[in-house]
Every structure is written in C-alpha cells, then in structure tokens.
Amino acid sequence: MMLARPHRRGIVIADLLLLAVIAVLGVLTIMKFFEYRVASTRDACYDNQKAADEFFDSVLNEEKKIRPQAFTAFIINHHIDGPSMQIIFMPHPYDQVRRNYAVTEKIDLKDSAFFGRPTCPLHKDLPTDQPVIDYWYAAGRWWCLYNPYHN
C-alpha cells in the first residue's frame, strides 16, 4: 500500500503532455471552424452562379445567340456604377465588317431580372477604389474567382 505524500507540488510530465494535447486540439478545432465557414457559403455561391447562368441564358435568347458564340462573360461589381454583366461574343465568320473584332455587350444588373449577388458570399471587405470581378463565364460554366472551393 502506498502512503500519500502530503507536500507533493509541481508539474509532472503527464501534465505537460495533457497541456500539449489541449493546445493541439484547440488549434485543430479553430481550423475546422474556418473550414466549415468556407463550406457553409458554398451553397449560396452556387445559387449565385445558377442565377447568373439563368440570366445569361435569357440574354442569349434576347440576342438570338447560342452559348458557343459567347467567348467569355464576367460580372463586374463597381461601387459607383453598381453590378453589370459584360459579355464578349465571338465575331461571326462571314461578317466582313467586324472580321477581327469581338462584339461586347454590357448589361446593367441593377434594373434587370438577376436575382443573385454579384460577389462571392465570402468576399466581405470589398475595395472601394476598383471594380471587383468574382464570377467569370468560361468553358461553358460560371466560375468563382474569389474562392476556388466554390467551383
């Protein structure tokens, strides 16, 4: 039988190991929280891309063009002018006047049927001195340029 030692004080190696485990688990918990924050906004970003795709299709229908004729498109959010969608169409192969020039169209999104947000949900601190481009159309779909995990 072991006798109790009344004046035992100090830190034992087991205490140091326990503190190290608590510190590591705390850091891992914080990292998981930020990963969840990024993943939780993925659905909202997908809804923005879906709204941009539907609006893009409506613009193509109005212009009587098909998707392969659209070279690229992007949504610009400027703090003064507001959001707009810029679409660059490839020139028609038989068009003599504009043989080497692409046709660009700018659509103002303030007064349109676009129901998405022009910026990624994670993009909180927007710069006020330059326009922001978060969504870009290429290769047949919309891409989030701000966060690669939202594609």
47 vs 74: CA distance, rounded Å: 16
Q: How do beta strands 141-144 and 82-89 pair?
A: unpaired
Strand locations in 4-140, DSSP E? 70-78, 82-89, 103-108, 132-138
- Output 31 or 105, whichever has higher pLDDT: 31
pLDDT at 100 over 60: no
Decide: 65 and 88 in contact? Cβ < 8 Å: no
| Backbone CA torsion sign across 104, 109, 114, 120 | positive
Would residue 10 be called left, alpha or beta, if left means φ above 0 and alpha means ψ between -120 and 50 degrees? left
- Please tell me whether the overall predicted TM-score, pTM, comes out greater than 0.75 for this model: no
Summarize the confidence of residues 116-140 as an average pLDDT. Answer: 88
- pLDDT tens across 46-78, in order? 999 999 999 999 999 998 888 988 889 999 998
- pLDDT tens across 136-150, in order? 999 889 999 988 778
- pLDDT tens across 7-54, in order? 667 678 888 899 999 999 999 999 888 777 767 788 888 999 999 999
